[in-house]
Structure formats: C-alpha cells, structure tokens
Amino acid sequence: MAIKDKVLELLDDNKGKYLSGEQLADTLGCTRGAVWKAVKALQENGYPISAVTNKGYSLDENTDILSLAGIKKYLDPDRQGLEIEVYKEVSSTNLVLKDYANQGVPEGRIVIAGMQTQGRGRLGRSFFSPSDSGLYMSILLRPDMAAADAVKITTAAAVSVALAVEKVSDQKPDIKWVNDIYINGRKICGILTEASFSMESGGLDYAVLGIGVNTYEPEGGFPEAIRDIAGPIFHERKSDMRNRIAAEIINNFMRLYDSFEENSFYPEYRKRLLWVGEKINVIRGSEKTPATMLGADEDCRLHVRYEDGREEYISSGEISIRKA
C-alpha cells in the first residue's frame, strides 16, 4: 500500500481528529516530508483534509469520499482479503475489469469508482455516472455455471443491493425484473452483467457484474431524459455512506455467491419483485406485447400471461408498467 493510502487510512480511522505529521511519520515509518507530500496529493484528489500548524492533519468527519480504507472498515472479516481498487474516476468499471479478465486475473477482483466517463447500461445504453454523488462498482467472477444460469448473477446482485440499502437507510427497496432497484417508484440502482462464454464447455469463461447506485441527487439534478425515472437513496449527504454501501453490497453478494447452488437469494428476490399481478408490456426490441405479470420462477425467468391466455417464462427482455 502506498504512503498516500496509508495516510488516508490513518486519517479515516481518526476522522475529525488532528494527527501531527510526526505522529503519522512515526506510525508509518517514513519522513514528515513524505507525509506532507501524501497529504497534498490527497487534497488535490478532493479529500477534505485540514492542515493546521502545531496541530497536524484532520479529515473532515462529514466527508463521504470513496476510499479503500473507508470500505474495508465495513467489510466482513472473511472479505478483507479481496483485491479492491478504488478510483476517483474511470471510463467504466466493467471495462476495466473485462481487461483484467482477459489477462487471466482470478475472480474476486473488484473495481470501484466515484465517476464513470463511459458508464454503460443494458442494450448498449449509456449509464449516467456523475462525480461525487453515486457509487459505481464491478466484480469479476469465474463461476462454474451454464450460460443459461447467468441471469442468477444479476438477480443475486439485485437482492444484495436491496438488502444493503435497507440496512443503511431504513427504506424498503423493490426490484423491477430483472436488474433495477426502486425506492418509492424511483430507480436508484441499475445492474449490468457482461459475460464471456466458452464455446468448448458451453459455460461461462468469466462474468463481470456491474452495479451503479444513485446515492445522492447530482448537482443540478438528473438529466431531463431520466428525471421522471431516476432518484437518489438520500436527499442529504451522510458521512462515509458510499463506503458503507459499497461494503454492504460486497458482503451480501459474496455470501449469496458462495451458496449459488442453493438459490438462497430467491425468496428475497420474489418478495421484493415489483408489479406482480399488474398489467405490463413485455418489450423485445421495438415490439411491445401486453401481458399480466405473474411473478418469477426459481431460475429467475419472468412468468407472464398474455391476453390470449397463453403463458410464458422469459429469460431476457424488458418490461414496463401499463398505465391506466
């Protein structure tokens, strides 16, 4: 770990308190000059660190900047060994991890960012990923899983996010099949799983699970195109909240991933599923077919009944509510 990261970890552990340059240098076994350079670099990266003569350095106790040290505080003990990289900005956390996957990096690598310049959603859409208001993360997986079961990664992730948000906010998120999380009718999270398939085995070579969370409303509000759909979890900033949410999602997902064969996520997924019993449109390409949503089976396929009485289980596509 670089000195900059070690300094941040110490300041984060003592948030709101002043640590002298001498204290930091002695603890880290480096020079005071190295500490000063590390603090300057952190300040330039946006960390609100105060420097006061004869007192030292202090990280604002109300800050909510993503950091490895901040996330590790909330990780379960058996997840502390995960390889996690945290960035202020990346092109796309999924793109970064797909590069790692193609280099043979083992599963469990996680990339987290506070902003994406090329955030991606389903069906090639862009995903709005502004600075300092959201949380964008991807997890590299190499499951022994048939291609047809890949949807379970997305649904388990949806449950993981819903449980994390409920724990930190006392709100009850709902899940829109197959990959969106809603609170009070507003989308607060989108999930995109991208996979590489083995032609030889018919299974997955790897999967990259991407999760984007609207923690706060961005400065200036959401873009007009999604203003009536998107919403934040919180309307006021909270200290260390994005680090906490990131850790909770990781804890939840890795626990569910460890018991994938048992479908342990399914009861929670079914309980939170939106629009069961409602009239919906099944969307495939440009075609919309009216139907009634009946639920989802244990393979996470959408169960619908069309107007002619025919029923179908759907593993891909999109749905929308039919407004009266």
Binding-site residue set for biotin = 92-94, 116, 120-122, 187
DSSP class of 27 = H
DSSP class per residue in 42-95: HHHTT--EEEETTTEEEE-TT-----HHHHHTTS-GGGTTS-EEEES-BS-HHH
Annotated binding site, which residues? 92-94, 116, 120-122, 187
C-alpha span between 24 and 4 (Å, rounded): 11
C-alpha span between 187 and 177 (Å, rounded): 12
Write down the residue that tokens 């299974």 correspond to: 203
**Exposure of 173 by Cβ count < 10 A (0-12 exposed, 13-18 middle, 19+ buried)?**
buried
Residue among 165, 166, 191, 188 at smallest CA distance from 177: 191
- In three state form, how does the secondary structure of 248-303 look? HHHHHHHHHHHCHHHCCCHHHHHHHECCCCCEEEEEECCEEEEEEEEEECCCCCEE
In degrees and rounded to multiples of 5, residue 225 shows phi and psi of -65, -25
